Structure 1
Amino acid sequence: MKSFSSILLWLLLIALVAVPSFLFYNWVMQGKEKAAAETTSTGPVANVFPPSQDATPRPAAAPAAQPQAALAQAAAPVQPAPRPAPAPAQQAPAAQPQAAPAPAEQSPSASANAPEPAQALQPEVSTGAEQGVEVSTVPKPRSWYAPKSERDPTFSPADYRKLKEEQMQREEAERLQRYAERNKPREPGPETRINLQGIVGNAALINNEMYYAGQTVRGVKILKVGVDYIIAECVTGSCKGKKFKKVMR
């Protein structure tokens, strides 16, 4: 068991050393490949000023003559150089559009009478003040109609008579309704429902019966019993919520 455990420890130690070594080797190789790629990618510098399109190739430089040939050429008699042939006439350029003829010089009198360019180009504008007419900004109406009366021309006299009769009938009905409401018999107030006959202590004698505060008689609730009066509230009918004071007589 001891030998087996020692073997395992050695294997573990080898693995711990081998993994960083492999990673370091891989990193070094990648750096070398990158440096080699950078050196190969940098080529010769292109010409900054490229030759023009119409440039003609120049003849190659002649090799240097041998010293003997140079001495023989110097010893030979000098012959006059042949006269160059006359150069052919250059081709005439393409015909250009004929320029407009220059204006003829005008005489001093004509130039004096001629208007200036600025005055000739400036349009003549006549203002309203010069013409004596004020310019109106209000648009003119396209049509104009001034009726002499308020009568609608689409209605006939019979229609107007009918409308007037209907209006009179409505006014008469409203007048009768107001008269009926004004003469309508009014409901007696809550004061007439009870008859305060006397007060004994905290009780009130109403309609021959004794009542205390909080009780109700004929739709009237007694709120307070005083010395010679009571305060009550109507709880039924159209007078609901009305409070009143009933004094004993």
Structure 2
Amino acid sequence: MLFPVNPWIRGFRHAPAAPVQLLCFPHAGGTAAFFRPMATALAAEADILAVQYPGRQDRFQERLVDSVAELADGIADAVVPILDRPTSFFGHSMGAALAYEVTLRLRERGHSLRALFVSGQNVPSANRDNGIHALPDDRLVAELLRLGATDPAILADPELLDVLLPTIRADYRAIETYRREADTPLNCPLVVLTGSEDPYVKPHEAAEWARLAEGDFSFHELPGDHFYLESQRERVCAVLRGRLAPRP
């Protein structure tokens, strides 16, 4: 069972004694529960937490937010009180952009991360508007089926679609309208992961994150599409373990 750490953050287990923590940021349309397998796999290494965006699961009654900046502001406020041990972020797709923005907000408040992991996302200044958020419902459903991000049984249920599509559309509007005029460098180690067959982010585009790294940088291209995380979970967790281990 997920439990609330605060209104924005969910935990998978009570592990206050864990030496490090990793906060995960879901993709567009995703929920904190997406990271349960990762939390299980990394239970011995870190306390795994995940962001729960408004308008889904236990936050279903809340207003949807369709702005990366507004989401990042809320998440940053929620993160500051839990920075009581070394903390890293892992963001996938839309979550990568949010993790980056929250990292910058924390830096402005005098905080730094153990590491930032960004997955399946272009650099912040890239134009990522594919027009998905403006598609008619039937074409949006077809795109979700193509990506494989949502259970086809859910997409075939009209009642569930009525609940799900506004959330997905708001998330896509947030990420597709997000763009920075200039990429701000980071003051923490940066680790980039991407799928070799991702239809949205080519490996050479993902590698451009290197120019945002003021210090340590590593790049990992793994087999798979935009949701390579599921088929390559063991390899992703191996990358994370190498960075999450407490330092002497």
TM-score, structure 2 length as denominator? 0.15
Tell which structure's C-alpha radius of gyration is larger.
1
The structure whose RCO (Cα within 8 Å, separation 6+) is larger is 2
Q: Which has the higher helix share?
A: 2
TM-score, structure 1 length as denominator? 0.15
